[in-house]
RNA sequence: GCGGGCGUAGCUCAGUUGGUUAGAGCGCCAGAUUGUGGCUCUGGAGGUCGCGGGUUCGAUCCCCGUCGCUCGCCCCA
C-alpha cells in the first residue's frame, strides 16, 4: 500500500505555474470556441459503464484495459470517463436535444485512463473538447479543424505542430477497405508481429501505423484506402481539403492515420509535434456520424476533437502576469483593522490587493515586491491621524501622502 | 500490461572502495536595520538518504522485493 501522502500513480497536483498554464490554456480555448459560436457544456465525469462500452466498443483498448470502472453502493457499474464524446452523446439523448440541432459544444475537464504513465500520459489528465452535432456537411469539418488550428495558434504553437489529415470514407467505403485489408494481412499473417496479429482480429486498420519494422515492410504492399473510396467519399474529402486550402491552413495527407472505432467516418486528423517524444499527438479529432444512432438515437452527424491540456502545457510559454498588485502595509496594531477596511474597499473598487500581516515593514515590502506588487500603501498611526495613506511606487521608490478620499484616483495607474 | 534507466533537504545536486554527528548552492524563516524592499553579513528551521526485507559487527552505499518517477512498446490527448 502506498503511503497516504503520495498522490495516486499517474495523478498530479496543479499548483503555481502548472495551475497557471492550465488556466491559460482553458482561457484561450474558451475565447476561441466562443468566437466560433460554440456553447459550453459540462457532463459528469462518470457514467454508467454501458455508455462507454456501447460507444467505444467492447474490444477497443480504451474499454478493454484502460478504463476505471467500479461498482457503486447501489450495485451499478460506473466508469470514469476516458474521453468526452460519449458523455456528450448521452447528454444529447438524455435531454432530447435533437430538436435543437445543429449544436456546437465546447467543454473541458479531467479524463481517466488506467495506463502506464509516462511523459505526456497520465491516469488523470485534462482535455479541452469540441463537439459539433447535426452538421453532416464538409463545411463542419473545415470549421472544426480551423477552430483547432486557431486554438493552437492562440497558444503560440502554430509553428511547432503539423496537421495530419486523412479520410476514412463513408461506411460502405470503409467496410470494403477493411475487408480488403483483412484479406491482405491474413495472407501475410505468419510474418506479422504478435501485436499486429491481435490487431488483425479487432482493429485491422491499426496495423497500418505499426512501428514494428517487419510489419512496415508488409504494410508497404497493403491496399490503399484511397483506392476503396467511393465517389461520394472522394468528393467529401476533396471538399474538406479545398476548404482548408481556402483558409490557408497547411496540412499533409497521411493515409496511415486511422481511427479504430466503427462509428468513425470521413475526416480524421491530428495535430502532432516532435517536441514531446512518443506522445506526439497534441490534438486529435474525427467525424463520428454513426455514434448517436449506435446509442439508440436518431441518425445524427457528429464531429469533434479533443486536445490534452498537459501536453499543451509542456509546450507553451507562460504569458507574464499583467495584474497590478497593490500591497497594503499596516504599521502597528492600531492600523491593522483600518488597513483591512482599506484593502476591502479597494478590492470592491476593482483593485488587486495583497495585505501583508507579518514581519517588519521591510519584510512586508520585500514580500510585496516578490509577489509582483507595483505599488504599496503604508498605513500607520501617523497616517491614520492625518487621514492619509503613504503611497510608495515600488519601482521608483517615490512616496507621496494621499488623502484617503482620493485614493482610488491616486491608484488609477495601477488598476 | 511488457522492457530499460533513476529515487539523498521545498528545488538542483554532492557524498560514502560499507564505518561513528549525511553536505553544498538556491529557496524559506529570523536578526543586523523595533516605520521602508531588491545588495551584503550572521544565524535558524528543514532529511524515516522512497518503503520493506536480506547480507554484515555495522547499510544511504551491496542483494531482493515493492512503491514512485522516467524512456520506449501497446494505445492514445
B chain positions with any atom within 7 Å of a protein CB: 1-3, 28-31, 33-38, 48, 67-77
The whole-number pLDDT of residue A258 equals 80
Confidence of residue A1 (pLDDT cuts 50, 70, 90): very low
Average pLDDT, chain A: 88
Does residue A279 reach within 7 angstroms of strand B, measured from its CB? yes
How far is A415 from A413, CA to CA, in rounded Å? 6
The whole-number pLDDT of residue A290 equals 84
Average pLDDT over residues A286-306: 91
Q: Give one DSSP letter per residue of A219-251, joined into a string.
A: HHTSPPGGGG--HHHHHHHHHHHHHHHHHT---
ipTM of the predicted structure? 0.81
Residues A76-106 have pLDDT tens digits of 999 999 999 999 999 999 999 999 989 999 9
How far is A381 from A335, CA to CA, in rounded Å? 6
Residue A340 vs residues A175, A336, A388: alpha-carbon distances, Å: 70, 6, 15
pTM assigned to the model: 0.88
Assess whether the previous peptide bond of A3 is cis (omega < 30° from 0): no
Does residue A362 reach within 7 angstroms of strand B, measured from its CB? yes
The whole-number pLDDT of residue A2 equals 42
| Residue A174 pLDDT exceeds 60 | yes
Residues A271-288 have pLDDT tens digits of 998 877 777 899 999 999
| Residue A58 pLDDT exceeds 70 | no
How many Å from the CA of A17 to C1' of B46? 24
How many Å from the CA of A398 to C1' of B38? 15
Tell me the three cell numbers of residue A282: 497534441
Residues A109-162 have pLDDT tens digits of 999 988 888 888 889 999 999 999 999 999 999 999 999 999 999 999 988 999
Q: Per mean pLDDT, which of A23-37, A280-294, A364-378 is the most reliable? A: A23-37
Does residue A218 reach within 7 angstroms of strand B, measured from its CB? no
Amino acid at each position: 500500500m502506498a503511503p497516504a501522502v503520495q498522490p495516486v500513480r499517474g495523478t498530479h497536483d496543479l499548483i503555481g505555474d502548472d495551475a497557471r498554464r492550465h488556466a491559460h490554456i482553458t482561457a484561450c480555448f474558451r475565447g476561441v470556441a466562443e468566437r466560433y459560436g460554440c456553447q459550453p457544456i459540462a457532463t459528469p465525469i462518470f457514467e454508467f459503464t454501458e455508455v462507454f462500452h456501447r460507444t467505444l466498443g467492447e474490444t477497443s483498448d480504451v474499454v478493454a484495459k484502460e478504463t476505471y470502472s467500479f461498482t457503486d453502493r447501489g450495485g451499478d457499474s460506473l466508469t470514469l470517463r476516458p474521453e468526452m464524446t460519449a458523455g456528450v452523446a448521452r447528454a444529447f439523448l438524455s435531454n432530447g436535444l435533437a430538436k435543437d440541432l445543429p449544436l456546437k459544444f465546447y467543454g473541458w475537464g479531467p479524463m481517466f485512463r488506467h495506463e502506464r504513465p509516462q511523459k505526456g500520459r497520465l491516469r488523470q489528465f485534462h482535455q479541452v473538447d469540441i463537439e459539433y452535432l447535426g452538421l453532416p456537411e464538409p463545411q463542419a469539418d473545415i470549421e472544426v479543424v480551423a477552430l483547432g488550428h486557431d486554438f493552437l495558434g492562440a497558444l503560440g504553437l502554430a509553428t511547432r505542430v503539423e496537421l495530419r489529415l486523412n479520410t476514412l470514407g463513408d461506411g460502405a467505403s470503409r467496410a470494403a477497405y477493411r475487408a480488403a485489408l483483412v484479406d491482405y494481412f491474413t495472407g501475410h499473417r505468419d510474418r506479422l508481429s504478435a501485436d499486429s496479429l491481435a490487431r488483425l482480429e479487432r482493429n485491422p486498420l491499426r496495423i497500418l501505423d505499426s512501428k514494428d519494422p517487419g510489419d512496415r515492410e508488409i504494410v508497404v504492399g497493403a491496399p490503399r484506402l484511397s483506392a476503396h473510396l467511393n465517389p461520394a467519399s472522394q468528393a467529401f474529402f476533396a471538399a474538406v481539403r479545398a476548404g482548408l486550402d481556402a483558409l490557408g491552413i497547411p496540412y499533409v495527407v497521411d493515409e496511415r492515420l486511422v481511427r479504430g472505432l466503427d462509428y468513425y467516418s470521413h475526416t480524421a486528423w491530428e495535430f502532432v509535434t516532435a517536441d514531446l517524444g512518443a506522445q506526439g499527438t497534441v490534438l486529435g479529432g474525427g467525424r463520428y456520424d454513426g455514434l448517436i444512432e449506435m446509442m439508440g438515437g436518431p441518425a445524427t452527424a457528429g464531429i469533434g476533437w479533443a486536445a490534452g491540456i498537459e501536453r499543451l502545457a509542456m509546450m507553451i510559454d507562460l504569458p507574464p502576469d499583467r495584474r497590478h498588485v497593490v500591497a497594503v502595509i499596516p504599521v502597528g496594531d492600531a492600523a491593522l483593522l483600518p488597513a483591512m477596511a482599506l484593502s476591502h474597499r479597494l478590492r470592491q473598487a476593482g483593485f488587486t490587493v495583497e495585505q501583508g500581516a507579518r514581519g517588519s515593514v521591510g519584510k512586508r515590502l520585500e514580500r510585496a515586491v516578490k509577489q509582483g506588487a507595483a505599488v504599496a500603501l503604508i498605513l500607520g498611526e501617523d497616517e491614520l491621524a492625518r487621514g492619509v495613506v503613504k503611497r510608495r511606487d515600488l519601482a521608483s521608490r517615490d512616496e507621496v501622502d494621499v488623502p484617503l478620499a482620493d485614493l482610488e484616483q491616486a491608484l488609477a495607474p495601477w488598476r
